[in-house]
Structure 1
């Protein structure tokens, strides 16, 4: 058997490869042994099976589905949506909307998809809301949207404030528009 002195020295690259192979083998062996160890799913005792069944049952029975909001609509304008104040641009697709009446106002949301450019969408809503008596409110708020404009509506004595925020996100192929706020109810 050759002694350590008789063995020629290995090049550094070969030693690194050897260490890497050893490390991979150790990791694979450790992972394989972990996968072979018994888990609660493999526990044959009746208590383990019962506790898993009870746990699953409590999760499914105790988690109610969300309630449907009657003031919302998917793919169309919700009943009572003030389309005369916040219209849908020609060629835009309504994704979802809501119109929840409140104390003299209607809380609204409108989500659209449109092929129009960001400036076209912003100009469209600036004109429509100007016609309804709204003015642009200067905003310094940072946003992840491509454009965000807030409009303030006409204020009447003791009436709730009116405001509408129009956000546009440009994903390159189309624009996603989200509008929210509150406007006076008819």
Structure 2
């Protein structure tokens, strides 16, 4: 027996609705929810970092003599990655209670002693307590430093490219 077209269409729609109906969500879990603030031993970074970066310490190839960690500062994350043109791309993020001027002085000393020239930014970045740019070798080597001051703690970020240290 042949179905009228309206019944066939209704049958197809019902079959489509059954196939497209989403599965009900599982009941809410009674397990504890995530904390808004991580515990001191948690990290927001992936745990399987490559050899060019390190969490809580200086990366293996980081130029420690050129950019030493200021006294009393805690390294949050660092990286040192060789580039194709023979330079080293570095970054350093640290936290300290040192005031912004002393922190910038601690970075400035070794860089200026190594032949870097300091320049102030044309327009200081809003919200930063201190900021400076250091360059050497006609600008091939360039480091930018910014210091954020929040609630008595300074966070410093330094990044750029430098010559690879001699082995």
TM-score range, shorter chain: 0.5 to 0.7
Alpha-carbon deviation of 1:93?
A: 0.2
Q: Which residue of 2 aligns with 1:7?
A: none
Q: Secondary structure at 1:127's aligned position in 2? A: helix
Unaligned runs of 5+ in 2: 1-16, 26-45
CA distance 1:76–1:140, change in 2 (3 Å): same
For these two proteins, the number of residue pairs brought into alignment is 128
Question: What is the match of residue 20 of structure 1?
Answer: none
Matching residue of 1:98: 79
- Structure 1 unpaired stretches of 5+: 1-43, 53-64
Secondary structure of the equivalent of 1:146? Answer: strand
Matched, 1:111 2:93: yes
Q: Secondary structure at the match of 2:65?
A: coil
Structure-2 separation of matches of 1:129 and 1:154: 13
Partner Cα distance (1:75, 1:112) in 2: 9
Q: For residue 39 of structure 1, what is the aligned residue in structure 2?
A: none
1:166 is aligned, of 128, 141, 145, to: 145
Structure 1 consecutive aligned stretches of length 4 or more whose deviation exceeds 3 Å: 67-70
Instruction: Please state how far the C-alpha of 1:128 moved relative to its aligned partner.
Output: 1.4
SS in 2 for 1:49: coil
**Alpha-carbon shift at residue 68 of structure 1 (Å):** 3.9
Cα distance between partner residues in 2 of 1:112 and 1:150: 17
Tell me by how many angstroms 1:46 deviates. 4.9
| TM-score (normalised: structure 2) | 0.68
Query: Equivalent residues in 2 for 1:1-186 (5 A)?
Result: 45-49=18-22, 68-102=49-83, 103-143=85-125, 144-155=127-138, 161-186=140-165
In the alignment, the residues of structure 1 paired with residue 51 and residue 146 of structure 2 have an alpha-carbon distance, to the nearest angstrom, of 24
Higher strand share: 2
Computing the radius of gyration from Cα coordinates, the structure with the larger value is 1
Residue by residue, what CA displacement relative to the aligned partner does 1:18-38 show, whole Å, maximum 9, x if unpaired? xxxxxxxxxxxxxxxxxxxxx
Looking at structure 1, the residues matched to 80 and 24 of structure 2 have their Cα atoms a distance apart, in angstroms, of 46
Show CA shifts across 1:60-90 (max 9, x none).
xxxxx9x844311110101100011111011
Seen in structure 2, the aligned counterparts of structure 1 residues 112 and 49 have a Cα distance that, compared at 3 Å, is same
Using the alignment, how far apart are the partners of 1:51 and 1:69 within structure 2? 41
Q: What value does the CA root-mean-square deviation take over the aligned residues?
A: 2.7
